[in-house]
Amino acid sequence: MSTCMCLAAASCTGLSDDRRMNITGKRTVWQGRFLKALNISYTDRSGNTRIWEAVERVNCAGIVTIVPMTAEGDILLIRQFRPVLDSFVVEFPAGLNDKNESLEEAARRELIEETGHTAEKFIFLAEGPISSGLSTEVLTVFLAKDVSPASARLKQLYPPDESENIEIIKTPLAAMYERLNACRESGDFIDLKIYGLVELAKNALSVGRQKENQVGA
């Protein structure tokens, strides 16, 4: 195995961009209602053809996760049973873009479906793979700013998924880590994305306040 280490300051300039490595084909070996298993053929940097086993969503144009924060500084998390893990998991609201929507529209819909809340402003935070050795999924994350309870009309338009039984955890941002530790100690799994995404959200809010102060100065 060849490993390349490059220390670059604040950019990816100078990192390897080996055009010899590319995908040459994909073959579906199994397909269900929501997922399919793939054999991906690709060429390595030595010119050898190799096979990588992967999983891909069916009829899905992206995955969205929402970091919902209220005007009072509370953060909304959800807790639901995940059959794959045979356990409850605490996580941010998330879902599939499978209804011919934009990613922001999908995020707005999922927020209402899973929490009964909505927001006027959705701020893009990040985009990237979730498990690049296993899945083709690319996750897009939005901060939902100043969330509040959705109207009865919106809840009727976007009802909860009948297969999901979701509990809402509302906690002050300052107490979030303590609350997560309590959930973990009680036997729940904590989605590790929470820890990084909440820091991205805090940074986005800080930058936003700085810009507002500059305008008002």
Q: Residues with catalytic annotation?
A: 162
What is the C-alpha separation between 37 and 11, in angstroms, rounded? 35
Instruction: Give CA separation, 189 vs 63, 78, 80, 199, in Å.
Output: 21, 12, 10, 20
Q: What is the 3-state secondary structure (H, E, C) of 68-106?
A: EECCCCEEEEEEEEECCCCEEEEECCEEECCCCCCHHHH
What is the C-alpha separation between 110 and 159, in angstroms, rounded? 10
Alpha helices in the chain (DSSP H): 103-115, 152-157, 176-185, 193-216
Contacts of 74 (CB under 8 A, 6+ apart): 170, 171, 172, 173
Q: Sort strands 74-82 and 138-145 into parallel, antiparallel or unpaired.
A: unpaired
Q: Sort strands 94-96 and 189-190 into parallel, antiparallel or unpaired.
A: unpaired
